[in-house]
Structures are given as C-alpha cells and as structure tokens.
Amino acid sequence: MAVQQESQPIAAERTSTPGIAVRPEAAVAAERSGSRWGEMALNGLTILYFLFALFPLVWMLLLSLKPQEQLFTTYFRFSPTLAAYREVLGTGGGGSDFLRFFLNSLIVAVGAVLISLLVGVPAAYAFARWKFLGGESLLFTLLSFRFAPELMVIIPLLVIYRRIGLFDTHLGLIWVYQLITLPLIVWILRSYFQDLTPELEQSALLDGYNRVQAFVKVAVPLIRPGLAAAGLLAFIFAWNSFVFPFALTGSNAQTVTVGSLSFLGGATPRYNLTAAAALIALVPPLLLALSIQRFLVRGLTFGAVKG
C-alpha cells in the first residue's frame, strides 16, 4: 500500500509539470520503435498487476459489507449491509472502544513523527555536511534499529516499561516508535541534504545569516519534497506498527492495529468487523498522502546553480 501511495503522486507530478516533465523511458522507447503492440502489452501488464495488487483490498471491502451469516461465501452474491461499520464505530448505541483506539493511533503516530522530524532533520543535516568522530558508526547504528527484529527487544522493553511506569502510556509508545521513525527520516533526509550544493548555505552565511538561520531559511525549504516523503513513510510505518503497541499497551493507549484484532478474539471470529476496522484505519494515511502530494515535487532545485 505504502509503495503505491509513494509512486502515484510523483507520476502525476511528472505529467502535470510542463517543461521539466520526464517521460517514462519505456514509453519513449516503444514510441521510437513505432511498436504500438509493445505499448499495449506494457499497459496490459500494468493493469494486470494493478488488479493483482488491489485484489486483497477489494476482498476486504466486500467482507466488510457482508452480514455475519454470509461471511464465508466465496461467490459475489450477498446482501450488502453497513452493520459492521455501525458496530465498529458504535453508532448503533452501545458505544465503542474503536474510536478511542483510533485517536490513540493518531496521537502516537503524529507525536512520534513530529519528534523524529524535530530531531532527525538537524541530525540528517549534520550527517550530510560534516565528518565527525563516530559519525559513520552512529549512522549505521541508527539503520540497525530498522533491521533488528522488534520481537528481540520487546520482552526486556516490557519489563523496563512496567518498572518506570511507561507501560500503556502514549509517551511510552511515542518513545519506542522513534526506533521506527527516526532512522527512516535521518537516512532519507541525509541524501536530500547531500544533493544540495553547500554553496547555497555558504552564500547565506555571507549574506549575513548565522549557521542556524542558513539551515532553516535556505537548506530546509529546499528539501521539502524529502521532508514530505520521509514524514509520510514514517507516519505509515508508525501507524501500522503492531508488535510494540501489542506488547506495551493495555486498554488505555491501545492502537487501532491491536484493537482491530479484538474482533477475532470471541467465540465466533467477526471477520467483517475486522475488515471494516482495517478499512477505516486506512483513511488517515491515505488522506495524509493525498494532502502532501503537492510537496512531492521533483526538481525543486532547478536553477540553483548553473547546469
């Protein structure tokens, strides 16, 4: 899902920006050889893959609209109902914990990303611009958080969290989410900063700005596309995190990912409720991706230096 959200806005931007539009090489090549068949085959394959990738989502949508007794039918005839959504959201009276979980997810994911940005943007800049003692190994350590399995640290973490009172708190989750969001943001943004010619900030230094001002006024605005991309990815990963909230929260700070699971826990697994919950949980990342599309502009630095 994340991958699709990533590539789609960029592709849209390419075609909508005259002058700097970049055409897919395959399309150009196909046109040059004059082969319309090649183009059609390419389009066919793309559509085929699109259906393949989207099918689980469609299946989930169907599942969420089914009444409980038709859940396991495999043909597409059923009487659609919004009952599952009503029950998940608690609109039929009776109330629901789901909205609270949803809010928890929002708080911890947004909080984690904001803190990571606050720390990660200056860190990425420092890693990109200066060689300092231990810089490389620090960077690698950050990356290692991403490839170390979460399950490996979860038990000790649980013990520590219980002892210092962070178990089942928003702050506790935001803290541990830094393992997910910070490496991502630092690594992505470092390469963006490396692509900026240092002369831009040097010019700002000579224009009467100090180093912090040069960073804030010149460097940061130029990596906005990276900021958007890294922030979005970090949010999606934080939002989708399951293991950390599963182990480190009780009822107070529980997130959507864990909460959705509770519908499967009873005597009869309520797959339609889980599907509805998952689809509702899809909304925030989707909205975020759509709203920051315009920042995912390529080539913001065109014209900075002579080509």
State the residues that interact with other proteins by CB under 8 A: 197, 199-200, 202-211, 213, 218, 221-222, 300-306
What letter does residue 75 receive in the DSSP assignment? S
Burial of 213 (0-12, 13-18, 19+ CB in 10 A): middle
Closer to other proteins at the Cβ: 222 or 248? 222
Closer to other proteins at the Cβ: 151 or 206? 206
> How many residues can be counted in the chain?
307
Closer to other proteins at the Cβ: 80 or 221? 221
Q: Smallest distance, Å, CB 23 to other proteins?
A: 19
Residue in this structure with the two tokens 């897919």, named with its chain if needed: 24
Q: Smallest distance, Å, CB 99 to other proteins?
A: 41
Q: Smallest distance, Å, CB 197 to other proteins?
A: 7
Q: How many of the other CB atoms lie within 10 Å of CB of 198?
A: 12
The one-letter code for the residue type at 263 is F
Closer to other proteins at the Cβ: 20 or 51? 20
| Start-end of H helices in the chain | 2-16, 25-32, 36-65, 83-89, 98-129, 135-147, 150-164, 170-195, 199-206, 211-214, 220-222, 224-240, 243-248, 256-261, 271-291
Q: Smallest distance, Å, CB 216 to other proteins?
A: 12
Closer to other proteins at the Cβ: 119 or 200? 200
Closer to other proteins at the Cβ: 77 or 306? 306
Q: Smallest distance, Å, CB 187 to other proteins?
A: 24
Q: Smallest distance, Å, CB 198 to other proteins?
A: 9
In angstroms, how far is CA 99 from the centroid of its own chain? 21
How does DSSP assign 239-253, residue by residue? Answer: HH--HHHHHH--SSS
Q: Smallest distance, Å, CB 15 to other proteins?
A: 19
Distance separating alpha carbons of residues 211 and 221, to the nearest angstrom:
15
Closer to other proteins at the Cβ: 96 or 203? 203
Q: For 213, how many CA atoms within 13 A lie in the half-sphere containing its CB?
A: 8
Tokens of 122: 């200056």
